[in-house]
Amino acid sequence: MSPHKIVLRFTAATSDQPIIYHLVKDYDLVVNILKAQINPHLEGTLVLDLWGERYEEGIEYLRQQGISVHPLNQEVVRNDDRCISCGACTGHCPAGALFIDRPSMEVQFDGNKCVVCLQCLKVCPVRAMEVRI
């Protein structure tokens, strides 16, 4: 059985719940956390590999808790030819994957930090941020 890559999105009301504990203990699932991010408003994103016999039951548990569950079948990439380093995206990136490099003042993108929230796609005026499936 191969792992499923999924993205979980939490609200402030659900970010303090012990969901990993329940996935492992109650549903006997194997969890590999790939990325985790929580912002000052206690909203969070968790990217993980999840697998086991009771996978579907575990996913249903997450949804019942009010946690958004999405398959991770895409990634965000930057089209360097389009990017003008305006910085519009940097304030919207909850994971810090987009940031302004000092002293060059150029926008940098660290794909390893990206949690595929897609906020950058919404705010980029030149559409330099793209989704690769």
- C-alpha 34 chain-centroid distance: 9
What is the per-residue pLDDT for 41? Answer: 78
Angstrom distances, CA of residue 101 to CA of 87, 90, 108, 114? 10, 11, 6, 17
Say how far apart CA 4 and CA 32 lie, in whole Å: 10
According to the CATH classification, is domain 4-71 in 3.40.50.300?
no
Compute the average pLDDT of residues 84-90. 95
Residue that wins the pLDDT comparison between 26 and 17: 26
Same CATH topology for 4-71 and 75-132?
A: yes
Please determine, for residue 73, whether its predicted confidence score (pLDDT) is greater than 90.
no
Please determine, for residue 2, whether its predicted confidence score (pLDDT) is greater than 80.
no
Say how far apart CA 115 and CA 7 lie, in whole Å: 8
Looking at domain 75-132, which CATH architecture does it have? 2-Layer Sandwich (3.30)
Please determine, for residue 64, whether its predicted confidence score (pLDDT) is greater than 80.
yes
Q: What is the pLDDT of residues 27-41, one digit of tens each?
A: 999 999 988 888 777
The reported pTM is: 0.61
Within 13 Å and on the Cβ side, how many CA atoms surround 121?
11
Domain spans, the chain: 4-71, 75-132
- C-alpha 38 chain-centroid distance: 10
What is the per-residue pLDDT for 40? Answer: 75
Q: What is the pLDDT of residues 88-107, one digit of tens each?
A: 999 999 889 999 999 999 99
**Does residue 19 contact residue 11 with C-beta atoms inside 8 Å?**
no
